[in-house]
Amino acid sequence: MTEKHHHIASAFDRDLEEVQAEIMKMGGLVENAILAAADSLEARDEEMAEKVRENDRAIDELEELINDEAARIIALRAPTAIDLRLVLSVLKISANLERIGDYAKNMAKRTGILVQMAPIEGATVSLKRMARDVQLMLKDALDAYIQRDAALAMDVIHRDRDVDQLYNALFREFLTFMMEDPRNITPCMHLHFIAKNTERMGDHVTAVAEQVVYLVTGEVPDEDRKKRDVTSTDASLSED
């Protein structure tokens, strides 16, 4: 592959390596944030949740740094072909990582509220499983990125369907809890937002994986996933 050859201007190579190292660092922080947010929710650990919220600042700062660096590369090096795709992918990936970080922070915020209420049986275990799936997808997407592995990135894209299914199952579960006892409504609303946000994290990881495919092949994969489950959009389910 072309990228294995070095640029005649070696400083260009260093710039590109640097910005990619920042992406990997940001990705690592985001992975930790997802896991720590889910752990703190399950363990009802306010202190850990607070840490997740604090750490989000570092993620935001990295995004800014990456944006500045990418703008500088575009201005000074006028990248083309694989280099251009690399810089474009860096911008998009950092934006997606930042959003995932925000969702993790939101989960931690809701943990602070949920610990004040009676726990909903089984919910946090399922949410943790979902968060774990998303974190593993992100890990693979970042591995695919650094290894330029489009096949692995495609695998990540396909795995988002499992996360969607977990969300749909949780949606039904929360609905049942709320119908059983109105006192469950407040915690279940928070839990539902967490589930929805985790599902959105999966979408952002998918977007990262799509950028990997674009970087390697020059083409964005077709968006051809049909919604298999209509739970969240089917009004009849709420009637009873």
**Residues near another protein, by CB under 8 A:** 1-2, 4-9, 12, 78-85, 218-219
Whether 235 contacts 171, CB under 8 Å: no
Closest to 145 in 3D by CA, of 160, 129, 135, 156 = 156
User: C-beta of 188: minimal distance to another protein in Å?
Assistant: 48
| Token pair in block for residue 226 | 């049909």
Nearest CB to another protein, comparing residues 154 and 175: 154
Q: How far is the CB of 215 from another protein (least distance, A)?
A: 11
Q: Which one, 2 or 233, has the nearer CB to another protein?
A: 2
Residue closer to another protein (CB basis): 65 or 82: 82
| Shortest distance, position 90 Cβ to another protein, whole Å | 15
Find the shortest distance in angstroms from Cβ 219 to another protein.
Answer: 7
Q: Minimum distance from CB of 15 to another protein (Å)? A: 13
In the bound state with another protein, the residue whose beta carbon lies nearer, of 3 and 155, is 3
Our CB check for another protein shows the closer of 5 and 228 to be 5
Q: Which is nearer to another protein, 28 or 218 (CB)?
A: 218
Q: Sign of dihedral through CA atoms 138, 143, 145, 148?
A: negative
Return the number of the residue (1 or 118) whose C-beta is nearest another protein. 1
State the nearest-atom distance from the C-beta of 92 to another protein, in Å. 15
SS (H, E, C) 189-210: HHHHHHHHHHHHHHHHHHHHHH
Of 71, 79, 215, nearest to 145 by C-alpha is 215
Beta carbons within 8 Å of 27's beta carbon, 6+ residues apart:
93, 97, 138, 142
**Separation between Cα atoms, residue 47 and residue 34, nearest integer Å:** 15
Instruction: Give helix 123-147 / helix 150-180 axis angle, nearest 10°.
Output: 170
- Work out how close the CB of 150 gets to another protein at its nearest, in angstroms, rounded to a whole number: 13
Distance, in Å, from the CA atom of 41 to the CA atom of 127, rounded to the nearest integer, reads: 9
Q: Closest by alpha carbon to 30, among 2, 5, 3, 61? A: 61
Backbone angles phi, psi at 33, to 5 degrees: -60, -40
